[in-house]
Amino acid sequence: MSGPLAVVGAGAWGTALANAAARAGGGRVLLWGRNPDAMAVLAATRTNERALPGVELAPEIEPTADAAAVGAASAVLLVVPAQAVRGALAGLGSVLAAPDLPIIVCAKGIERGSGAFPCDIVAELCPRAVPAVLSGPSFAADVARDLPTAVVLASAKAGLARKLAARLSGPALRVYHGTDVRGVEIGGAAKNVLAIACGIVAGRGLGESARAALVARGFAELARFARAHGARAETLMGLSGLGDLVLTCGSAQSRNFAFGEALGRGEVPATAAAGKLVEGAFTAPVLVDKAARAGVDMPIAQAVAAILDGAITVNEAVDMLMMRPLKAEA
Ligand SMILES: NC(=O)C1=CN([C@@H]2O[C@H](COP(=O)(O)OP(=O)(O)OC[C@H]3O[C@@H](n4cnc5c(N)ncnc54)[C@H](O)[C@@H]3O)[C@@H](O)[C@H]2O)C=CC1
Ligand SMILES: O=C(CO)COP(=O)(O)O
């Protein structure tokens, strides 16, 4: 691949991925952020103290706020929140017009309002680009500390997915490849909603048995939703799906889990996020809406959306889930 790799979005995950890509070899990595002052500080201090404290930027990383610089990239990692994917792409505009430019979405979510998956937004706004998605169990802080991590990168173009996975893989980040873009997107988006549910269980002190039941039944509804949207079952059994569910449904390091924990303790949604990005809170209502349209039963996601909406309390949600008519396990 000629030309630098560009990471668009200089938050926690963008900075961690830029470092991982630099350590993987392959040359320059542009780290683009929209705030020129903040990017000047990154360039001067070689750290991103606000988003990823205590982590030094690899020498190959060039922090920049110059959109034109991204135009020279051989591939773009798009690492902004799911609700900002459209705005970020629109903001970069013609900079992303090169034919066959791989744009790898690293966000986990579904767009509210449109119900669009991130790669569909890429296809809509950058019709000459090749959309791809990278997802899986991976805390930015772990990747930044070079702890062993595995993710999956999917693109409809199998050869390109293989090449990009090789470009990003390094001693501590193992990138699998695949072609099931929709399956990988759904795994990342849905697990955030289920992580909120597991956090609520922990915060309310409902016990480890309840949490394990939620993970298993949550996986069942995630897989149903994915199948209804054309994803392959084996994708959801993999890193983006089961893998990420296991990670974020069991760790307070997850912002979605921590948000749920605060709700479980009795905090209200407006303060429970504590200023952090909670993708599942944005995705819950749109996931539930899409499930209803597709005729897919997602009682746990529905309960999360209803709690966030203020329509039901945590106790009512628990009663509702426990009192559902008994059924065969499927
Ligand atoms: N932090 C983590 O451990 C992981 C995060 N992710 C996913 O990566 C995505 C980003 O998460 P984080 O980096 O953690 O969030 P963050 O809150 O640390 O950073 C988000 C960055 O996006 C920028 N941004 C927001 N709107 C923008 C726009 N319209 N144009 C340009 N830049 C914009 C913000 O200025 C900020 O620098 C989320 O979808 C998250 O689910 C995925 C795996 C791991
Ligand atoms: O997606 C993640 C780990 O795979 C990060 O999870 P949170 O966004 O819940 O912190």
Per-residue pLDDT reduced to its tens digit, 128-145: 999 999 999 999 999 999
Phi, psi of 76 (to 5 degrees): -120, 125
The mean per-residue pLDDT over the stretch 33-43 comes to 98
Residues in Cβ contact with 199 at an 8 Å cutoff, skipping those fewer than 6 apart: 252, 254, 256, 257, 258, 259, 260, 261, 262, 263, 264
Average pLDDT for 291-317? 98
- The residue to mutate among 13, 15, 52, 256, having the most atoms of ligand 2 within 8 angstroms of its beta carbon, is 256
Ligand 2 shell residues, CB under 6 Å: 108, 137-139, 192, 195, 244, 247-248, 254-256, 279
Q: Which ligand has the shortest distance to the CA of 187?
A: 2
Confidence of residue 330 (pLDDT cuts 50, 70, 90): confident
Joined tokens for residue 238: 């993999």
- Averaged pLDDT for residues 307-329: 96
- Per-residue model confidence as pLDDT tens digits over 156-179: 999 999 999 999 999 999 999 999
* 289 belongs to an annotated ligand binding site: no
Q: Residue 295: what residue type?
A: G
290 is catalytic: no
Return mean pLDDT, the chain.
Answer: 97
Q: Is the pTM of this model over 0.90?
A: yes
